[in-house]
Amino acid sequence: MKTAEIILKGGTVVNHDGVGQRDVAITNGKIVGIGHYVKEQAGEVIDCEGLHILPGVVDSQVHLREPGAEHKEDLETGGRAAVQGGVTAVFEMPNTNPLTVTEAALADKVARATNRMHCDFAFYMGGTRDNAHLLGEFERLPGCAGIKVFMGSSTGTLLVEDDDGVATILKNIRRRAAFHSEDEFRLNERKGERIKDDPASHPVWRDAEAARLCTERLLRLAREAGKRIHVLHVSTADEFPLLAAHRDVATVEVTPHHLCFALEDYARLGTLIQMNPPVREARHRLGVWQALQSGLVDVLGSDHAPHTMEEKRKSYPESPSGMPGVQTLVPIMLDYVNKGRLTIERFVDLTSHGPNRIFGMAGKGRIAEGYDADLTIVDLKAKRQITNDWIESRCKWTPYHDMTVTGWPVGTFVRGRRVMWNGDITGPAAGQPVRFIEAL
Tell me how far CA of residue 46 lies from CA of 26, 54, 377, in angstroms: 11, 15, 11
Cα–Cα distance, 282 to 237 (Å, whole number): 10
- Say which residues have a Cβ less than 8 Å from residue 339's Cβ, sequence separation at least 6: none
The answer to whether residues 31 and 367 touch, using CB atoms and an 8 Å cutoff, is yes
- Residue 54 backbone phi and psi in degrees, to 5: -110, 155
Pick from 378, 381, 386, 392: nearest CA to 348: 378
C-alpha span between 345 and 302 (Å, rounded): 19
CA distance 142 to 73: 23
| Active-site residue, selected from the candidate residues 303, 335, 374, 379 | 303
DSSP string, 102-156: SHHHHHHHHHHHTTTSSSEEEEEEEP-TTTGGGHHHHTTSTTEEEEEEESS--SS
In sequence order, the 6+-apart residues with CB closer than 8 A to the CB of 97 are 67, 68, 69, 156
Distances (CA, A) of 225 to 70, 163, 172, 221, 381: 38, 12, 10, 6, 48
Tell me how far apart the alpha carbons of residues 377 and 21 are, in angstroms, rounded to a whole number: 13
Q: If phi over 0 gives left and psi between -120 and 50 gives alpha, with beta otherwise, what is residue 365?
A: left
φ, ψ dihedrals at 207, nearest 5°: -80, 170
What is the separation, in whole angstroms, between the first and last Cα of the chain?
Answer: 36
How many alpha carbons fall within 13 Å on the CB side of residue 153? 9
| SS3 label, residue 91 | strand
Q: Is 303 a catalytic residue?
A: yes
Asked if residues 119 and 150 have their Cβ atoms less than 8 Å apart, the reply is: no
Reported as type and span, the H/E element at residue 163 is helix 163-172
Please check whether residue 228 is in contact with residue 249, taking contact to mean a CB–CB distance below 8 angstroms. Answer: yes
In 3-state terms, what secondary structure has residue 39? helix
Identify the CA nearest to 176 among candidates 234, 208, 218.
Answer: 218
Residue numbers annotated as active site: 303
